[in-house]
Amino acid sequence: MKQLLSTLLLSCSLTCIGAQEINIIPKPIQITQAEGKFVLTPQTLITYDKELELQASYLQEIFGGSTGWDLQMEEGNAQTGAIHLSLNPEMRQAEGYELEVTPSGVQISGADPGGVFYGIQTLLQLFPAEVYNVIRQKNIAWEVPAIKISDAPSHPWRGMMLDVARYFFDKDFVKKYIDMMAMYKMNKLQFHLIDDSGWRLEIKKYPKLTEIGAWAGKDQNRFGGYYTQEDIKEIIEYAKVRNVEVIPEIEFPAHMLSAVAAYPWLSCKGEPREVPTQHFISRDLICVGKESSYQFLQDVLDETASLFPSRYINIGGDEAVYDNWETCPKCQAVMKREGLTKASDLQGYLTNRVLQMMKEKNRTVIGWEEIIQRGKLDARVVALFWHNEKDTIQAVEKGHWAILTPATHAYLDFPESKTPGEVKAATWMPPISIEKAYSLDAKDYSEGSHVLGVQGCLWSDQFIHGTILQEITPLNENRSENYAEYFTFPRLLALAEVGWTRESAREYKDFARRLAYHYARLDQKGCNYRVPEPAIAQIQEGAQGVTFTLSESVAGAPIRYTANGSYPTVHSPLYTGPVTVDDKNNFRAITVINNRHYSLPIYFAYDYSEYKHFGEFSGEWKPASIQADKAAPWRIDATGKISGNGTYEITFVQTGGNNSLKIDGIKLFKREELLDGINAMRKVDKQHQVSYRLHVKSFEAGTPFTLEAQVSGEGGNSTNGAVFIKKVDE
């Protein structure tokens, strides 16, 4: 009997001298290592079955970039020394493959072209990481260990949703995202093309959808964009060889203000609207009482279906608020005519009319879980469960299919941690660590349910403003594309394994060990990612101070630290063993992968819990950030703490040091706009905290707020403290 990977690795590390550690993600079903290796040379031939020309060309192109060799391709049978791609109709599991590497050649056979593509991905993961580089890499031994791998996915649906509506990612980024998904055997891209903040798909019959609906703001502040129908064809073509199905999502009845801005007659009231420049959830639903709305949907879906070959069309359907339907005479007339009792049942009525349109086109409808929760549907649909994975039971009861995309595990717009300095991110759920994402169990939650698989979601409302707002501190960069990758990686790898690998074969520790080898691969791909902070294994308080013992979170990556409260860099002292410091709040440590990629510093935040009656902790000052007797501006991020119109109390508390903090005045800004300020000198010392009251009258959700205080240390800079923000009225 063939051995499973875990047993094999255990016995191998003891007995097979020279056997290489195998770090494939997602973890394959069965791996058998053998003696010897295959060496790629400029003479290596790529041979293939005639249906596999696309896959062979793909492989030729990858090798062409990194090795600089123009390998020859030949349709036909396997030859000694060649890499051979074939289809094996006896393989029963869709997308399954077998990869056999021997010193005299490589054989990849797949159940279908997708399976062959996955065999190629596994082969590439066995080559040195440089194989992914598009520029010729010199002095690399292009070798692969002899091995046999049999593999197939446990779930047919392994998806990502990319929100190109809130923030417009251009077609090159979309292609790159697809390429990265495919590297980890993800096969469905839910293309979130429509939302309140933007309409991104060219529809020839309704040109204003993109002339107006794709753009927010005015003149030089205008931003947005859309895909032409030619762009869409190019994206689909690119995805096809990578076995990624691109599924268009046309959102209605809510999340479509961009369409209403273009054609106000779509809404119940028909009032003029603008594409919002901030994250905004509109209540202008499409009116279900006007036949023109159905004609619009029919036309848009006709063009969409003719562009996208996917057997699925996603109709969104989430988060509708029905006030306008409740008061619209036309919508109310439909309710009466159809004998419906609740405005929300009108969504079911609308979905049924669209189901009929899609049936004529032989397409299956997908939508967020709300589509099966509002009224009774006439046909089977696929529901994306985003609240609670256990709710998939609802799909079974109603005969539908389900996909798991719970916000708790799969929404990658949540931060990975609460570590100070973490990027701005969604806040309505706790952070999602790599381990948390990995802990999602892609099982059926009831007997006989139809869980197709799992899907991650990258919403972009956190970077709707693109380059203006966001900054990734550790990278000192602010491009939204980098930011999107920072959110996505490495958590995508965790979700990819959840979808591909059988639950019984998954173990986080083993995944984390393999993951350490993939950062170099992401680097070669030119893909940004978040680096995990070092972990604190032990803290001991003693007479000499506090001793920190750290553990690596990326095997083999150096840890660097500081002991004076400053921000560590790639040049800070190398951690080689326990470090003793006199003040535990001054210890900082980072994981360094390379000069561009290092983690946020872990550190022992001062415990401010005794001050929580002053409100939310919002920032701290230290001697290093204060000048003696020379007032300088200190900017404090108040985003999230300013939560609506009202009065806010800003309190400064000194927690250490011998000099007092002198504050010459304080100002509150919304973006660059001054909202309020107080020009009065106050002094903070250990006995006296200082509070200011400021007023907000023009709050906007999703906008950055900043406090600016003019501060100095009186007679010296020996002062430490913190600032708190509290809302004092409603």
In terms of CB distance, is 290 or 518 closer to Zn ion? 290
For the chain, report the end-to-end CA distance as a whole number of angstroms. Answer: 70
| Sites for ligand ACM among residues 90-129 (CB under 6 A) | none
| Sites for ligand ACM among residues 291-320 (CB under 6 A) | 318-319
Determine contact, residues 326/289, Cβ cutoff 8 Å: no
The pair of three-digit structure tokens given for residue 620, joined into one six-digit string: 């701290």
328 binds, among ligand ACM, Zn ion, none (CB under 5 to 8 A by kind): Zn ion
386 binds, among ligand ACM, Zn ion, none (CB under 5 to 8 A by kind): ligand ACM
In terms of CB distance, is 230 or 319 closer to ligand ACM? 319
% helix, strand, coil for the chain, step of 5: 30, 30, 40
Determine contact, residues 534/551, Cβ cutoff 8 Å: yes
Determine contact, residues 38/105, Cβ cutoff 8 Å: yes
Number of residues that this document lists for the chain: 730
Distances (CA, A) of 77 to 62, 243, 245, 498: 22, 24, 29, 36
**Alpha-carbon dihedral angle through residues 491, 496, 498, 504, given to the nearest 10 degrees:** -120
- For 201, other C-beta atoms within 10 Å of its C-beta total 27
Among 101, 129, 268, 377, binds Zn ion (CB under 5 A): 268
* Minimum distance, C-beta of residue 464 to ligand ACM, in the bound complex (Å): 15
In terms of CB distance, is 319 or 471 closer to ligand ACM? 319
* Minimum distance, C-beta of residue 319 to ligand ACM, in the bound complex (Å): 5
In terms of CB distance, is 20 or 388 closer to ligand ACM? 388
In terms of CB distance, is 174 or 328 closer to Zn ion? 328
DSSP 411: B
In terms of CB distance, is 257 or 684 closer to ligand ACM? 257
| Sites for Zn ion among residues 287-316 (CB under 5 A) | 287, 289
In terms of CB distance, is 130 or 461 closer to ligand ACM? 461
Q: By CB under 5 A, tell whether 331 contacts Zn ion.
A: yes
In terms of CB distance, is 129 or 259 closer to Zn ion? 259
C-alpha dihedral sign at 521, 524, 530, 533: positive
318 binds, among Zn ion, ligand ACM, none (CB under 5 to 8 A by kind): ligand ACM
* Minimum distance, C-beta of residue 268 to Zn ion, in the bound complex (Å): 3
In terms of CB distance, is 334 or 425 closer to Zn ion? 334
Strand partners, 144: 38
d(CA 559, CA 580): 15
Which among 390, 384, 388 has a CA at the least distance from the CA of 402?
384
* Minimum distance, C-beta of residue 211 to Zn ion, in the bound complex (Å): 25
Distances (CA, A) of 194 to 39, 154, 203: 48, 31, 12
In terms of CB distance, is 387 or 630 closer to ligand ACM? 387
Residues whose CB is less than 8 angstroms from the CB of residue 176 and which lie 6 or more positions away in sequence, other chains included: 527
* Minimum distance, C-beta of residue 412 to ligand ACM, in the bound complex (Å): 12
Among 199, 308, 325, 368, binds ligand ACM (CB under 6 A): 368
**Beta strand pairing call for 364-368 and 661-670:** unpaired
Determine contact, residues 206/263, Cβ cutoff 8 Å: yes
289 binds, among ligand ACM, Zn ion, none (CB under 5 to 8 A by kind): Zn ion
422 binds, among ligand ACM, Zn ion, none (CB under 5 to 8 A by kind): none
Query: How distant is the alpha carbon of residue 463 from its chain centre?
Result: 12
In terms of CB distance, is 168 or 296 closer to Zn ion? 296
Give residue number: closest CB to ligand ACM: 318
| Sites for ligand ACM among residues 603-632 (CB under 6 A) | none
In terms of CB distance, is 270 or 558 closer to Zn ion? 270
668 binds, among Zn ion, ligand ACM, none (CB under 5 to 8 A by kind): none
**Given the rule CB under 5 A, which of 204-212, 245-253, 307-315, 331-339 is the region that contacts Zn ion?**
331-339
d(CA 497, CA 410): 13
Residues whose CB is less than 8 angstroms from the CB of residue 324 and which lie 6 or more positions away in sequence, other chains included: 267, 268, 269, 283, 284, 285, 287, 331
Distances (CA, A) of 656 to 140, 217, 442, 579: 55, 47, 50, 23
In terms of CB distance, is 368 or 617 closer to ligand ACM? 368
In terms of CB distance, is 165 or 396 closer to ligand ACM? 165
Segments in 224-343 forming alpha helices (H) = 229-241, 257-262, 291-307, 323-327, 329-338
- For 281, other C-beta atoms within 10 Å of its C-beta total 15
152 binds, among Zn ion, ligand ACM, none (CB under 5 to 8 A by kind): none
**Given the rule CB under 5 A, which of 50-58, 157-165, 262-270, 653-661 is the region that contacts Zn ion?**
262-270
| Sites for Zn ion among residues 55-114 (CB under 5 A) | none
368 binds, among ligand ACM, Zn ion, none (CB under 5 to 8 A by kind): ligand ACM
**Given the rule CB under 5 A, which of 64-72, 84-92, 260-268, 369-377 is the region that contacts Zn ion?**
260-268
* Minimum distance, C-beta of residue 263 to ligand ACM, in the bound complex (Å): 23
* Minimum distance, C-beta of residue 175 to ligand ACM, in the bound complex (Å): 25
Q: List the helix and strand counts (H, then E) for the chain.
A: 19, 34
**Beta strand pairing call for 97-102 and 72-75:** unpaired
* Minimum distance, C-beta of residue 411 to ligand ACM, in the bound complex (Å): 7
φ and ψ of 449, to 5 deg: -75, 170
Angle of helix 113-126 versus helix 171-183 axis, rounded to 10? 80
In terms of CB distance, is 58 or 386 closer to ligand ACM? 386
* Minimum distance, C-beta of residue 311 to ligand ACM, in the bound complex (Å): 22
Determine contact, residues 249/314, Cβ cutoff 8 Å: yes
In terms of CB distance, is 324 or 651 closer to Zn ion? 324
| Sites for ligand ACM among residues 316-335 (CB under 6 A) | 318-319
- Kindly write out the interface string for residues 21-50 of this chain, putting x where it contacts Zn ion by CB under 5 A and - elsewhere: ------------------------------
52 binds, among Zn ion, ligand ACM, none (CB under 5 to 8 A by kind): none
Q: By CB under 6 A, tell whether 51 contacts ligand ACM.
A: no
* Minimum distance, C-beta of residue 325 to ligand ACM, in the bound complex (Å): 19
| Sites for ligand ACM among residues 381-410 (CB under 6 A) | 386
Residues whose CB is less than 8 angstroms from the CB of residue 291 and which lie 6 or more positions away in sequence, other chains included: none
Query: How distant is the alpha carbon of residue 90 from its chain centre?
Result: 37
371 binds, among Zn ion, ligand ACM, none (CB under 5 to 8 A by kind): none
Please count the residues of this chain forming the interface with Zn ion, following the rule CB under 5 A: 6
SS3 510: helix
261 binds, among Zn ion, ligand ACM, none (CB under 5 to 8 A by kind): none
331 binds, among Zn ion, ligand ACM, none (CB under 5 to 8 A by kind): Zn ion
Query: How distant is the alpha carbon of residue 514 from its chain centre?
Result: 20
d(CA 197, CA 119): 40
319 binds, among ligand ACM, Zn ion, none (CB under 5 to 8 A by kind): ligand ACM
Please count the residues of this chain forming the interface with ligand ACM, following the rule CB under 6 A: 4
**Beta strand pairing call for 157-163 and 451-458:** parallel
Binding site for Zn ion (CB under 5 A): 268, 287, 289, 328, 330-331
Binding site for ligand ACM (CB under 6 A): 318-319, 368, 386
